[in-house]
Structure 1
Amino acid sequence: MLALVLEQRGPDGAVVREVARPEPGTGEVLVRMLAASVNRVDLYMRDNGAGITHELPQVMGVDGVGEVVAAGAETQLAPGRRVVVYPYEFCGRCRYCLAGEHPLCVKAKIPGEHRDGTMAEYLVMPETSLLPISDKADVNGAAALGVAYLTAWRMLFGKVPLTPGAVVLVQGAGGGVSYAAAQLARMAGVRVILTTTGAQKLDHFRKAGFEMIDYREGDVAKAVLAMTGGQGADLVVDNVGEATWGQSLRSLCRGGSLVTCGATTGSQPGADLQRLFIRQLSVHGSTMGSFEEFRRLIASFEAGHFEVPIDSVYPLQQAAEALNRLSAPDRLGKVIVRIADPSASQGAGA
């Protein structure tokens, strides 16, 4: 089968080539992949990968959607069933799994990070890491749910659950998680303020009905305070890191919360402890979400409560180019790797 394989570090380290097709064992399912999305972690794996236990070569890709081809013993998913990949292989027995906190599983393996991933014609995953989805659901959108949208879901509804009427500031709205957070926050009936820059992106989000701040045109925190009558935001979503950390803290109302899932611009910002304790602010780390949170996210997607914006779609043969597109300044929306035609079902005999 064809797959995007990370063979070495660097911009030329990911290549599309033939690899052996995996076979399902007990409790596992063979999935014919239809599409996968490109995420920031894919670039990190390609160019660095420090701190993530893995061995090269390794198939890339964290999230995706496909169709069941065959299943091992002790499984219930039937061939032909369309499924979305929950991006964790979890043990189901540790204290965190038993509490429903699957992202904290002590034995968790993430596709494309700790084990072979989704950018391949076929993928084997435990049945417990697959969720059914309607054949009518948009394939490209479904492929992007497992990382950006699941991460945004937990940031908004898991750590500090939003209530209608709250004010949410989302930093760097053009990024995948931030764009998802903007959509999901508005779905929850809150006031959403976004930061970004560039005429095209500012115009895009304004036309979509969002309140905008151009972070290159002045002090973001002062702008947020001016827009909220001096109160500030109840919640700030920040995956940028050092470059925005200070302004994110200053943008919060008293008792407000900052939720972070990334450090694109650096991981060692000033803590600003006096502001934290005097204003009684809280800071939460978050990444992806639980199996139940993923189920709720998929249900909301299938119900049409939001649509996943797509920047571009690449065939699997051009998956390495898709990774490069993620860093393009004009990118707006998710980059998708299309692997197979969903109308050409191969069934159990594949």
Structure 2
Amino acid sequence: MIKKRKSLEEYKAGILEGNRAVLAQAITLVESNLSADSDLASALVQVILPYTGNSIRIGITGVPGVGKSTFIEAFGRILLDQGKKVAVLAVDPSSQKTGGSILGDKTRMEKLAADRRAFIRPSPSGKTLGGVSSKTRESMLICEAAGFDVILVETVGVGQSETAVKGMVDFFLLLMLAGAGDELQGIKKGIMEMADGILINKADGDNIPAAKRAKNHYQNALHLFPPSESGWYPSVTIGSSLTGEGLNDCWKKISEYQNHMMERGLWNENRFKQRLNWLDESIQSILGKAFLEHPEIQKRLPEGKEAVKKGTLNPIAFAKELTGLFFKK
């Protein structure tokens, strides 16, 4: 709940000034599930739209333990040294029982969080698929309006629904480990096919030879995939968040990708598609909420669910019955 809502103009002015306190409050506003906050949040996103779109959005994913947060802190500091302003939207896994989340990314990125040119915002993933918050898109726009050049979205981990991340960023980076037994580490083929780049993390000390072998392994695996429609061929780099080795190379690859997409007119085309997908998802979400809040449906749903569970009621027939109640004039 927002303790004290600012006016629309106060939020807008604070964001455009890069006021970190107002920025945090604005993201809290868009993440709120209260209907009183929803309308103001929607209006805020609308008024800041002209100031958005100038950042590069990078999704970062990988199996638990791959070192996503450590990588982001080291990578973010390199970007700061290059004069960039960096925002990190770090999505924490929510408890399926309590709905609570750890929200501990600031403690894992202490040096980056202490820099005024960086902004770190942990958000609970809630029940949203894909390891991203349902409000991540709005949060990215707010950060762009506040003048951040690079937005890093750290996801919960790797899963089939990680397509949600790919659907809202410009570059999708997959972090991998070397020397963990099976080099594919249970990564689904679909995740690797979505990756615009792969980085073998923790390539330091005695692990360097294993990282180099893993690089060759993944590079060979990528050659088995059909070429992307954009003509971009993902590459594999090795890097260390401890020593900083390879992280500049990673940024160079991301910049090469951006140039590749812009030269072919695909950069903006990708964002056009993402906005339309966002529209589709928003319509479904709003309709779903209104559907479940309908008084007659709330009255009928428990009994019908019990019948479906017992196998005495056809789920399709019940769904048609409920939609008939919803659209009844």
**Pair in the same fold by TM > 0.5:** no
| TM-score normalised according to structure 2 size | 0.30
| TM-score normalised according to structure 1 size | 0.29
Name the larger-Rg structure: 2
